[in-house]
Each structure stands twice: as structure tokens, then as C-alpha cells.
Structure 1
């Protein structure tokens, strides 16, 4: 796999890996599982891995078979929380293998921090977005004025080491989401930066995201965790 490697950002010996080639989902899942065990055993550093996949539907632990409407692509059991989601070219995925043993042991605050990281990065490209009560993910106003999902979040924690993370729609084929009920939410659509008139490459997105990484990691520190309860 060809890749580019930005300089590490934020505190701690974290590996920052940015893939320029598409990584098959099952291969990424295997690597995440192995890295999770290695971080838990203190034989490898934490990892933030930014990449894209060939088209695939992934099923979380709460997936409902009735929400798999048209399985036109491979369906993979992901082991993360949540329901069905789609990954494919033009959607940037961030996998986080981080040690919550030293970051507060608070999954809710971990998810809150991820949301904030993505929201602030989207703002750098002129896209206002927000959290929505009762709906995990990142939401924005679509071109028709309706609320739509631009980013998804699904995590798994084992021995307080995280896996999976988030995805953001830069310029995917949005028709591919039609094969599922994305994250089990029928009443809202999905959108992308490109649909909103923002042409952002994966390299540009990665650079902006990494520039805000220190604030994300700071939000996981114990003194800052009170913010996730508001």
C-alpha cells in the first residue's frame, strides 16, 4: 500500500498514517485488531490511520437485517458499535487506536471529542456542522435546506484501547448509501463536501484534521472531560 506520512501532531508518541491507496476493509480490520493488542501489550505506539476503502457495507453490533436494503457490495461484520454504514472512495475514514487507560476511561467523552474534532475541521472548509441529540454523528444543512449527515462515528473499546473511529464524506458516490438505511436513520439523508460545493482532496482534509489533532487529544485529558457532559 502506498502511503504518505505527515509529521506526528499532538502530545505523545502517536503514529500518524495517511494512506493514498484504497485499503480493503477486511485488511484494515485485521491490522486494527493486531494494533489494538500491541498497544495493550505496550509493544506498539498508538495509531491514527486515515484512509479510504473500496465500496463496502459494514455491520455494527446493533445492525438490523431489515436495514440492508440492497446489498450490492460486500457486507462485513465490523465489531464496532452502531448499525449499517457504507465506506467507499471519496469518503475519508479515520481509525483511532488510542489508549484510554491514560486518557480518562470515558467512552462517551471519547466520542464527544471525535465529534468536536470533525466539526472544527469541517468549519475550516466553510461547512458549519453540529451534534444532534439522540443521533450519533456529524450533521449539516444540505443544499435543499434539510438536515443531512456528513460524518459517521462508530467505535469499539477493548481493554480500554480503542478501534474504529469516524468517516467524513468528501466526494463519495452518494447513491451507494441507498443500499442501506445509514446508521438506522431513515428520515435524514446523507451529503458530502462536494455536494455542498466544497472540493477538498484527501490530502487537504488530512492536513487540516492533523492541524487540529492537539486540541482533540487535549479534550481526552481528564481536566477537559467536563465539556462532554454539556
Structure 2
């Protein structure tokens, strides 16, 4: 008999980064104590740069005080990874799940997140691949199409992945994306020869890829 794995999916639209961060912290605490089931947040952010816990500030290429002139926020986080950009026309997933319950270690978890984006890209005829050692995320040739930055606390995950559907790539010119100076950034719009559907459809497809690859079979949408 197949084990039932329940996932509650929150489809949230555009959410302020700090609001999403506070929500994640609340949900992580509740998941640790078994008050909620595994949860997946599907959303977008307004333009926001984030730097991870190692504080790789040198990879921000313009003064922090000037970010407001381009309509962007700037925040420090407790996730892994390096500096990145979140903005409209990205598909973002923040899983709040128990790795112990689904029998995954940290490395396999990250690999599965990469596979979610690789599978999504393949739906549009784009051959994406995982990066080489030290290049976490998903790439199309030398261009990064999907970023990953996670936090794991007591076996509970937070933060997650961001897949570029059609963001304004000019925002990436103000950082060294993920700390990799000799690589670029790309998007599904740029790489695919197909006419893309409404972004809501792509978000749904990414959720479906996540559900399948992580073996959830009882889905509750909120």
C-alpha cells in the first residue's frame, strides 16, 4: 500500500519578501511541532535582492542606497547560496517540508529541486541541466535559468527555488548572480521557441513537477 503524503499548496501571487520570510518562519515552527502538514508556497516577489548568511556583500555591484532608484529592495537572509534577485515573472517555490518524513538528505533535496526546474524547462523544449560543482541551480548552456537557496533547520526546509519565466534581466546586471562572475542569466522566454502560456499555467506546471518528484499524493490547495 502506497504511503499517503499530504502537501498543502498556497498559491499566493505577488508577496513582499519580508512578509514571505515571516510567514516561512511561522510555518517552519509549526511544522517542527507537527501542527501543520508539509506546505508549499507558490508566489512571486516585487524586485528584491537578497544576500545569504555568509554576507557576500561584494557581489552587489551598486551602492545599497541606490537600489531604491531602480525600484528594488535589499534584504539579508539565513538561506544558503549567494546573492540573487527576485522579481516579477519568476516562479518561486518555498517548500516547508520535513526531510526526515520523506527520507531525503540535504544533497538529494537540492538535486530534486534542480530536477523540478529541469523538468519544467523541458516542457517548453529547453534542455536545462544542473550546474557543475559549486554551481547550484539550473542552467541552459552558460546562462542560469533557475536559482536555489535553501535553509534546513531541524530537518525542516525553507526558502527554495526561483525559476526565470520572463523577468527583467537588467536587474541582474547590478549583481554577480550567485557569486559566479563568468556566467550569465537567462529565462524561459529567451530560450524557448514556443509561445508561452499565461504565467499562472507555468506556476501550476512547476507545482505539478514538485509534487511528482517529491512523491506527494494528497494535495490540498489553499
TM-score for the superposition, normalised by structure 2 = 0.86
Q: Which residue of 1 aligns with 2:10?
A: 17
Pair 1:80 & 2:73 matched: no
Pair 1:204 & 2:201 matched: yes
Q: Give distance in 1, aligned partners of 2:80 and 2:40.
A: 19
Equivalence map 1:180-195=2 (5 Å)? 180-195=175-190
Task: Report the Cα offset of residue 19 of structure 1.
Answer: 2.1
Stretches of structure 1 lacking an aligned partner (at least 5 in a row)? 1-9, 142-146, 220-230
Identify the structure with bigger relative contact order (alpha carbons < 8 Å, sequence gap 6+). Answer: 2
Q: Give distance in 1, aligned partners of 2:61 and 2:95.
A: 29
8 A contact 2:127–2:140 mirrored in 1: yes
Q: Which residue of 1 aligns with 2:95?
A: 96
CA distance 1:153–1:200, shift in 2 (3 Å): farther
Q: Give distance in 2, aligned partners of 1:94 and 1:118.
A: 11
Q: Matched residue pairs, number?
A: 204
RMSD: 1.7
Q: Residue 44 of structure 1: which of 36, 50, 53 is its match?
A: 36
TM-score for the superposition, normalised by structure 1 = 0.84
SS of 2:151's equivalent in the other structure is strand
Q: Which moved more, 1:59-68 or 1:27-36?
A: 59-68
Stretches of structure 2 lacking an aligned partner (at least 5 in a row)? 217-222
Task: Report the Cα offset of residue 194 of structure 1.
Answer: 1.4
Task: Report the Cα offset of residue 11 of structure 1.
Answer: 4.7
